[in-house]
Amino acid sequence: MDFVKKHIVKPGESVNLKSVRTEPDGPFEGKEEAREYVEETIQKLRALQYRLYVEGKQSLLIVLQAPDAAGKDGLIRKTLGRMNPQGVRSYPFKVPTPIEQAHDFLWRVHQCTPAAGQISIFNRSHYEDVLVVRVEDLVPKRVWSKRYEIINQFESLLAERGTRILKFYLHISPKEQLERFKERLDYPEKHWKLNVGDYEARDRWPKYLEAYEDVFKKCSTKDAPWFIIPADKKWYRDAAVASIVHETLQEMDPQLPTVQVDLDEIRRLYERELAEMDND
């Protein structure tokens, strides 16, 4: 299945999130088949990531946005985080610190963009500045409404430098979210994730969907497309994202450098050392 084609938001496309499924409709029979697919895809992904790292020219930025408990952490822990840590870093963006607040909204983000050869994963991102900030009324409309264009320019600056950008929205239903909140209550090791604000935000669910719809319409571009991933099933979420990242790396087609050294000479040196060791 072509996950890119299925989940991409075309530039300028209007999305009505309420009509987008949160449950998968194929291609996997179920969990087991999807998990196998993820395993195979991760192996291919790692091989391409190795080339990206060695090539040292292009980079990849993966942006994750979603309601609470939609699975950003799980996706990183179980799937994306299995790439080689030499070449990948993840950055969680929380409520801005006083120092971050004292700068423009892209300041903290720009520092975390991937260097050539690297992959950055954003767990939340600059999009919070047109999402939570808008819905919770943290800055006036005249401020946040200018940010879509600023974000597009920022992302095209990154693209110009050789950074591919993939932006994923993990789409869950309010019902699934509540079930996962229940899990957090049931497992003591998840209690740190509990907060009253997450429950309050449920009242504003439609406002968040509206804010996301604006983001998709204004900020899904050729250089930096948005993907809406049905995320009620964790195994589908992982498979779809892994597949899209893999396909993108394939398209980027990173190349190992052409060999500069004289291989015959290196082989001679090796044989000589080997012979000397045998003589000792």
Residue 202 engages ligand AMP in binding (rule: CB under 6 A): no
Residue from 17, 28, 54, 68 in contact with ligand AMP (CB under 6 A) = 68
Residue 95 engages ligand AMP in binding (rule: CB under 6 A): yes
- Which structure tokens are listed for 263? 């291989």
Binding site for Mg ion (CB under 5 A): 68
Residue 129 engages ligand AMP in binding (rule: CB under 6 A): yes
Secondary structure of the chain in HEC code, one letter for each residue: CCHHHHHEECCCCCCCHHHCCCCCCCCCCCHHHHHHHHHHHHHHHHHHHHHHHHHCCCEEEEEEECCCCCCHHHHHHHCHHHCCCCCEEEEECCCCCHHHHCCCCCHHHHCCCCCCCCEEEEECCHHHHHCHHHHCCCCCHHHHCCHHHHHHHHHHHHHHCCEEEEEEEEECCHHHHHHHHHHHHHCHHHHHHCCHHHHHHHHCHHHHHHHHHHHHHHHCCCCCCEEEEECCCHHHHHHHHHHHHHHHHHHHCCCCCCCCCCHHHHHHHHHHHHHHHHHC
Of 50-58, 124-132, 160-168, 242-250: span binding ligand AMP (CB under 6 A): 124-132
Residue 64 engages ligand AMP in binding (rule: CB under 6 A): no
Question: Minimum distance between the CB of residue 38 and ligand AMP, rounded to whole angstroms?
Answer: 23
Q: Which is nearer to ligand AMP, 94 or 175 (CB)?
A: 94
Question: Minimum distance between the CB of residue 26 and ligand AMP, rounded to whole angstroms?
Answer: 31
Of 26-34, 125-133, 146-154, 244-252: span binding ligand AMP (CB under 6 A): 125-133
Question: Minimum distance between the CB of residue 126 and ligand AMP, rounded to whole angstroms?
Answer: 8
Residues 227-256 that bind ligand AMP (CB under 6 A): none
Residue from 6, 51, 78, 124 in contact with ligand AMP (CB under 6 A) = 124
Interface size with ligand AMP, residues (CB under 6 A)? 11
Residue 76 engages ligand AMP in binding (rule: CB under 6 A): no
Residue 128 engages ligand AMP in binding (rule: CB under 6 A): yes
Contact (CB, 8 A) for 15 and 209: no
Residue from 9, 52, 132, 135 in contact with ligand AMP (CB under 6 A) = 132
Question: Minimum distance between the CB of residue 18 and ligand AMP, rounded to whole angstroms?
Answer: 22
Contact (CB, 8 A) for 28 and 234: no
Of 26-34, 131-139, 212-220, 268-276: span binding ligand AMP (CB under 6 A): 131-139
- CA atoms of 134 and 252, how far apart (whole Å): 35
Q: Which residues bind ligand AMP (CB under 6 A)?
A: 68, 93-96, 124, 128-129, 132-133, 138
